[in-house]
Amino acid sequence: MSQQASLPDDDNWLLDDNDGEETPRPSEVRKPWKVLIVDDEKDVHTATRIALRGISYKERPLELLSAYSGAEAFQMLQQHQDIALIMLDVVMESEDAGLRLVHRIREELDNGVVRIVLRTGQPGQAPEQEVILNYDINDYKTKTELTTQKLFTTTIASLRAYENLVSLEKNRQGLAKILESASDLYQLHSLREFASGVLRQISALLDIGTDGILCVRNDNMVGRPELEILAVSGAYEYLAESGDLSNEPHLEAVFQQVFKEKRSIYQHPYDVLYISSRNRREFAVHFMPQWPLDAVERDLLDVFCQRISAAYDNLYLYNQLRSAQEATVVALADLAEFRDTDTGDHVLRVQKLTDAIAEEMAGDNHYPELMTREFMDMVGMASILHDIGKVATPDNILLKPGKLDPDERAIMEQHATIGAQILAKSAQLVEGASYLSLGSEIAGGHHEHFDGNGYPNKLKGQDIPLSARIVAVVDVFDALLNKRPYKEPWSMEDTMKYIHGRSGTQFDPHVVAALSRLVGEDRLPVQFGD
């Protein structure tokens, strides 16, 4: 079996104690290099530990692990995926146990970065040239030639090679994660949602815990703190309620320094990133890695900050565009309501109740293929355009205090087709789904009946757009509860009795059920009824 490694007398300088050295502060301690010693001789472990005692590379100490067989070493490699170097005996439980372990590391674990130094006390058992050619190892030494100095040299050279391989792999994986996370950030549509997404992506990029804070700097914004917390996670969740950093004065000082100097600061454990955008908004992100970040990780974060900035600019432009669209929709709705003074805040109530019913139905998992994020975001605002076609209805019909005769009713019913056509034509100018395209569906379909007896196209069941089926119920619900030129307001009891009586004929039963639950649980979003 293997022979014990020797320690030359002239290398005893490694045995000096370090008791007189000052113990480093926790923030100064750096992640150690893990070195696994694999040998079936206990004395070899002891000798190796003595020889490597006190050695550090790039201010990072060594953490020495021990395994006494190939099988035990394989288990440790599964548990410690960041082992940098393996000092591996060739002959242990079998004559080729070490060589078998090399194969398993590279093939089964798919670990191509850990460096392996084979050591043998029986060099003839596995010829050096054959081993070097056939196995992915760093070095192959007999135990007798591994003096303390040579062991030091081999260790440092192996750690340097490991570091270079890890840097390349971190860059590859990090850039892939940045591209993936940037794509995710482009899909977020609110500032706080965006901020939470940034914290999650930094955690994933660095493979660290979830503790983090993202702040925005508010310059000259009355009533807002200068440093406002937009998102917190992990140990900092208690700060969400206060919304500022007054409970963390040291961290607040670091944030202030970041904003003053307009740069990221790495003062582990107070690491804070600086992010600026084209519209002059400034953000800072604090996170808590276990160890001080290395150069590769900092470079990746610099790239990520650039992607965050671009993604925020995209969010800002998206919100500006969306605000402009909403303003246009409100203006169109006001135009439709301008002549119909008795409807009051009808369209605003319709908007809020449409949103509430859609949320209720989504919670019940009704029509999941239709309840997309885009649909949920737009259906309420689009609903206020449901009567836009009334701009073409003559005053003598629109404002008539009594019941309409058949001819007048036929003219009134034209508003559904007219509204759909007006909005559909405008929607063609906007690529994809928009308030206008959804509004066209609603305007043209909110008078269709679930059983096919509505107007203008006699659509039936799910052939009627979901948006229109929701607004059909909401429109009647609000109209019955409020005064109109042709009627007095109804009670809530009579209104719900009327709607329940038409479930499955005029109305989609799922929409009726959602409204009924909101009414029964007193969760209506606004006050209905005069």
Active-site positions read 390
Using the structure block, give the residue that is written with the tokens 């850039």.
Answer: 175
The pairing of strands 139-142 and 115-120 is: parallel
- Dihedrals φ, ψ of 514, to 5°? -65, -45
Distance spanning both ends of the chain, measured CA to CA: 96
SS3 content of the chain, % helix, strand, coil (to 5): 55, 10, 35
The secondary structure of 273-284 as a DSSP string is EEEE-TTS-EEE
Q: Which amino acid is at 57?
A: Y
The secondary structure of 347-382 as a DSSP string is HHHHHHHHHHHHHHHHHTT-STTT--HHHHHHHHHH
Measured distance CA(263)–CA(268) in Å, rounded: 15
Structure tokens belonging to residue 506: 């005029």
Residues in CB range of 247: below 8 A, 6 or more apart? 238, 239
How far does Cα 401 stand from its chain's mean position? 55
- Residues listed for the chain: 530
Element (H, E) at 57: strand 56-57
Nearest to 217 by CA among 232, 230, 198: 230
- Dihedrals φ, ψ of 232, to 5°? -135, 160
Task: Give yes or no for a contact between 186 and 201, defined as CB atoms under 8 angstroms apart.
Answer: no
Task: Give yes or no for a contact between 445 and 459, defined as CB atoms under 8 angstroms apart.
Answer: yes
Task: Give yes or no for a contact between 456 and 447, defined as CB atoms under 8 angstroms apart.
Answer: yes
Nearest to 448 by CA among 403, 359, 386: 386
C-alpha distances (whole Å) from 79 to each of 68, 82, 109, 208 are 16, 9, 11, 17
Measured distance CA(425)–CA(405) in Å, rounded: 31
Structure tokens belonging to residue 481: 């509860």
Residues in CB range of 257: below 8 A, 6 or more apart? 265
Residues in CB range of 418: below 8 A, 6 or more apart? 389, 391, 392
- Dihedrals φ, ψ of 229, to 5°? -75, 125
The pairing of strands 56-57 and 83-89 is: unpaired
Q: Which amino acid is at 489?
A: P
